[in-house]
Amino acid sequence: MNTKRIIREFVEDKTNLYDEIVSLSPEKRDEVKTVLRNLIDVNNDTDEDEDKPHNWKELPGYNPEYFYDEDSLFAKQRDGDESEDLNEISYGGIPELKAGGFFSKIQKWLKRYLTDKASDFLINASADEMKDTIHLINVLDPNDMGGVFKPKAIYLGGGIDFADDALSWRTKVEEFFGPDHVVKGERLLELVTDGVMDFKGLDSPAILNPLRAETVRDEDVEFQQLFKSWKSDELDDESFKIFREKIRDKIVVQDLYMLKVCDTNLINFDGTAGAGTFGEAQVSALKNSQVIVWLTNGKKLSNVSPWMMPSITKIIVGDEIWSFLENFK
């Protein structure tokens, strides 16, 4: 029982840490990443004659012009000279580095941005766990394009049936890229009807918005009535059969045709995603498309199913999406 409790607490602590990392600004995430890199360097330092970590110039507060030369604080402490007043040393604006030992300094610095529990978890983490956190920060960085390619076509995935407004954010993405990127009209009709896509004359990346194809939601009165009855659990067997066929022919098949020509699935993860969104994410992963999860509406990493995690290429938080999408122009 103790082992299970310890494992459960470890998983919970790691999940809470990741949620806190997600909530930080990009600048603060970068600072945490720099600290973790230097903690890894310190943990891996086996040379007794070398008193500085591998990336010592990156550690917040180190003065690269002064910290390790022969007149530096470290040199004088190493030689037994304690005459230098600690308060006279410039530490680049991080006063906590004037405190006691190296790890306590880092721990106090981390607590400026993270809760006590999260910072304690990091300071006691293994090198592999620190590397996992660094990897997460890189995945969250809208300007880190490692492992990300410029797409030919982007599918705008996310909740529709349970969303208060499924259209606005999709329209904003279309406007961000411009009308010459948007698949619509006869071109879209041919795609969702026959599965044939003509990219000629389209700027890259092409933007495919399922709401432009799923006109059945707005134009088919029978579908609207069936949908309302389904939501209220009032469909009889015959009506359900008709509803199911409309869903398959006018929504599922059309969406799959669009996904077939897309190499990137941008999912607005706002808490309204249903089975369709998760099914589309899996289809994208199976065809080796990029899956970009865009956390909005206050959603955290812990709200994303662990089952989905291996399929995710990039995680973007809130308004950081626009600087990320700028890389695709």
Over residues 67-87, the pLDDT tens digits come to 444 444 444 444 444 433 333
- 88 located within any domain: yes
Same domain, residue pair 171 and 222:
yes
Give φ, ψ of 9 to 5 degrees: -65, -40
Say if residue 113 is in the same domain as residue 165.
Answer: no
Residues 319 and 170 occupy one common structural domain = yes
How far is it, in rounded angstroms, from Cα 66 to Cα 119? Answer: 29
What pLDDT is attached to residue 235? 83
Q: Of 89, 113, 140, which closes a domain? A: 140
How many angstroms separate the CA atoms of 196 and 233, rounded? Answer: 37
Closest alpha carbon to 208 in 170, 245, 176:
170
Residue 314 sits in the same domain as residue 233: yes
Percent of residues, the chain, with pLDDT higher than 90? 43
Residue 316 lies in a domain: yes
Asked whether residue 89 is assigned to any structural domain, the reply reads yes
Q: How many CA atoms lie within 13 A of 326 on its CB side?
A: 9
Looking at 34-38, 136-140, 266-270, which range is the least confident one?
34-38
Domain-located, residue 147: no
* CATH number for position 203: 3.40.50
Look over the chain and give the mean of its residue pLDDT values, rounded to a whole number.
80
Closest C-alpha among 329, 319, 274 to residue 294: 319
In a domain, 78, yes or no: yes
Q: Which of 19, 15, 2, 27 is nearest to 129 (CA)?
A: 15
**What is the rounded CA–CA span in Å between residue 262 and residue 4?**
43
pLDDT at position 216 over 80: no
Residues 167 and 313 in one domain: yes
Of 9 and 285, the structure prediction assigns the larger pLDDT to 285
Quick one: 163 and 104 in the same domain? no
Identify whether 148 is part of a domain. Answer: no
- CA–CA separation, 55 and 59 (whole Å): 7
Query: What is the distance between the alpha carbons of residues 108 and 95, in angstroms, rounded to a whole number?
Result: 10
Give yes or no: residues 208 and 119 share one domain.
no
- For residues 226 and 121, membership in a common domain is answered with no
Residue 146 lies in a domain: no
- The pLDDT assigned to 127 comes to 82
Last residue in a domain, options 84, 105, 140 = 140
- List, for residues 99-118, the tens digit of each pLDDT value: 445 667 777 888 888 998 88
Task: Quote the CA–CA distance of 71 and 145 in Å, as a whole number.
Answer: 41
**251 falls in which pLDDT band (50, 70, 90)?**
confident
Domain that holds residue 86: 2-140
Q: By the 8 A CB rule, do 156 and 170 touch?
A: yes
Last residue of a domain, one of 96, 114, 140: 140
Domain total of the chain:
2
201 and 133 housed in the same domain:
no
The predicted pLDDT at position 88 comes to 34
- Regarding whether 184 and 65 lie in a shared domain, the answer is no
Rg of the chain, C-alpha, whole Å? 26
With pLDDT > 70 as the criterion, what percentage of the chain qualifies? 76
Could you tell me if residue 305 is inside a domain?
yes
Do both 254 and 311 map to the same domain?
A: yes
Answer yes or no: do 165 and 135 share one domain: no
